[in-house]
Amino acid sequence: MQELSRQDLGQKLTNSSSSFALFLYTPICGTCSVTKKMLSIVEVMEPDLPLFQSDLNYMLELSIEWQIQSVPCIAIIEQGQVKERIYRMESVENLLNKLRPLNKRTELQ
């Protein structure tokens, strides 16, 4: 998963045709570590998923703007806007079901 800085993320968001998932975490969050491991499995199973990560500690204004309630959070971004926020990381299968449609959206764009 590629790490996005605030500047990198801003550039991706201005590309309004881009659909992707952004994993928001903090380094000392234990649940975030588990989610990161789950997402690494998702990436092996679906290597072309547009999946990125960002440390929320460096994006305070983003957490307020997007109304991020807690970490871990996976934000589904479509056309530069947050379409969905995922807070419950139930299983790898659940994450795959939520994230796989991004491949189709990206192919269409």
List, for residues 32-63, the tens digit of each pLDDT value. 999 999 999 999 999 999 999 999 999 989 89
Residue type, 45: M
Would you place residue 14 in the very low, low, confident or very high pLDDT band (cuts 50, 70, 90)? confident
Residues recorded for the chain: 109
Fold of 2-104: Glutaredoxin (3.40.30)
Distance from C-alpha of 10 to C-alpha of 74, rounded to nearest angstrom? 17
* Positions of E strands within the chain: 2-3, 19-25, 51-55, 73-78, 81-86
pTM of the prediction?
0.90
